[in-house]
Amino acid sequence: MERVCFLLKVKADRLSEYKEAHKDVWSDMIEALRETGWTNYSLFLRDDGLLVGYLETPDFEQALAGMAEKEVNKRWQDSMAPYFENIGGAHADQAMVRLEEVFHLD
Protein backbone atom coordinates (compact mmCIF):
# COMPACT_ATOMS: atom_id res chain seq x y z
CA MET A 1 0.00 0.00 0.00
CA GLU A 2 1.39 3.40 -0.97
CA ARG A 3 1.00 6.28 1.45
CA VAL A 4 0.74 9.51 -0.54
CA CYS A 5 1.02 13.06 0.75
CA PHE A 6 0.69 16.07 -1.53
CA LEU A 7 0.53 19.86 -1.42
CA LEU A 8 -1.58 22.46 -3.19
CA LYS A 9 -2.31 26.11 -2.43
CA VAL A 10 -5.84 27.46 -2.01
CA LYS A 11 -6.31 31.17 -2.70
CA ALA A 12 -6.45 33.10 0.58
CA ASP A 13 -9.67 34.87 -0.38
CA ARG A 14 -11.41 31.56 -1.21
CA LEU A 15 -10.66 29.54 1.94
CA SER A 16 -14.17 29.69 3.38
CA GLU A 17 -15.76 28.75 0.06
CA TYR A 18 -13.32 25.87 -0.42
CA LYS A 19 -14.11 24.48 3.03
CA GLU A 20 -17.84 24.89 2.42
CA ALA A 21 -17.59 22.98 -0.88
CA HIS A 22 -16.07 20.04 0.98
CA LYS A 23 -18.87 19.77 3.52
CA ASP A 24 -20.98 18.06 0.88
CA VAL A 25 -18.74 16.26 -1.62
CA TRP A 26 -20.87 14.71 -4.34
CA SER A 27 -21.75 11.09 -3.63
CA ASP A 28 -20.76 10.05 -7.16
CA MET A 29 -17.35 11.68 -6.62
CA ILE A 30 -16.85 9.78 -3.37
CA GLU A 31 -17.89 6.57 -5.11
CA ALA A 32 -15.43 7.21 -7.96
CA LEU A 33 -12.59 7.78 -5.49
CA ARG A 34 -13.35 4.53 -3.73
CA GLU A 35 -13.70 2.60 -7.01
CA THR A 36 -10.27 3.79 -8.17
CA GLY A 37 -8.42 2.87 -4.98
CA TRP A 38 -8.32 6.11 -2.95
CA THR A 39 -8.56 5.06 0.71
CA ASN A 40 -8.00 6.86 4.00
CA TYR A 41 -8.15 10.11 1.99
CA SER A 42 -7.95 13.36 3.98
CA LEU A 43 -7.38 17.04 3.24
CA PHE A 44 -5.90 19.48 5.75
CA LEU A 45 -5.96 23.26 5.24
CA ARG A 46 -3.76 25.84 6.92
CA ASP A 47 -4.94 29.45 7.44
CA ASP A 48 -2.64 30.73 4.70
CA GLY A 49 -4.13 28.33 2.13
CA LEU A 50 -1.58 25.53 2.25
CA LEU A 51 -3.51 22.36 1.50
CA VAL A 52 -2.06 19.01 2.52
CA GLY A 53 -3.64 15.86 1.14
CA TYR A 54 -3.06 12.32 2.34
CA LEU A 55 -4.28 9.00 0.99
CA GLU A 56 -3.41 5.34 0.84
CA THR A 57 -3.70 3.33 -2.35
CA PRO A 58 -2.24 0.19 -3.91
CA ASP A 59 -0.89 2.21 -6.86
CA PHE A 60 -1.07 6.02 -6.95
CA GLU A 61 -0.43 6.39 -10.68
CA GLN A 62 -3.19 3.88 -11.38
CA ALA A 63 -5.51 5.69 -8.93
CA LEU A 64 -4.88 9.00 -10.71
CA ALA A 65 -5.38 7.42 -14.13
CA GLY A 66 -8.61 5.80 -12.99
CA MET A 67 -9.99 9.11 -11.78
CA ALA A 68 -8.92 10.83 -15.00
CA GLU A 69 -11.31 8.51 -16.86
CA LYS A 70 -14.28 9.43 -14.68
CA GLU A 71 -16.68 12.08 -15.96
CA VAL A 72 -17.53 13.11 -12.39
CA ASN A 73 -13.86 13.87 -11.76
CA LYS A 74 -13.76 16.30 -14.68
CA ARG A 75 -16.83 18.09 -13.34
CA TRP A 76 -15.40 18.18 -9.80
CA GLN A 77 -11.99 19.40 -10.96
CA ASP A 78 -13.61 22.09 -13.12
CA SER A 79 -15.61 23.29 -10.12
CA MET A 80 -12.54 23.31 -7.84
CA ALA A 81 -10.05 24.94 -10.25
CA PRO A 82 -10.95 28.55 -9.33
CA TYR A 83 -9.95 27.93 -5.71
CA PHE A 84 -6.30 27.11 -6.38
CA GLU A 85 -3.17 29.21 -6.88
CA ASN A 86 -0.41 28.36 -9.33
CA ILE A 87 -1.97 25.43 -11.13
CA GLY A 88 -1.36 26.98 -14.54
CA GLY A 89 -4.69 26.11 -16.10
CA ALA A 90 -4.40 22.46 -15.06
CA HIS A 91 -6.75 20.65 -12.75
CA ALA A 92 -5.62 20.35 -9.14
CA ASP A 93 -5.22 16.57 -9.47
CA GLN A 94 -2.65 17.24 -12.21
CA ALA A 95 -0.83 19.99 -10.29
CA MET A 96 -0.44 18.46 -6.85
CA VAL A 97 3.12 18.34 -5.54
CA ARG A 98 3.81 14.92 -4.06
CA LEU A 99 6.02 14.80 -0.99
CA GLU A 100 8.62 12.12 -0.39
CA GLU A 101 7.94 9.93 2.62
CA VAL A 102 11.03 9.84 4.82
CA PHE A 103 9.66 8.12 7.93
CA HIS A 104 6.71 5.96 8.88
CA LEU A 105 6.03 4.56 12.33
CA ASP A 106 4.80 1.06 11.66
The one catalytic residue in 3, 19, 22, 74 is 22
Cα–Cα separations (whole angstroms), residue 76 to 21, 47, 101, 103, 105:
10, 23, 28, 32, 34
Phi, psi of 94, rounded to the nearest 5 degrees: -100, -15
Residue 91 falls in the annotated catalytic set: no
Cα–Cα separations (whole angstroms), residue 28 to 22, 23, 40:
14, 15, 17
Active site residues: 22
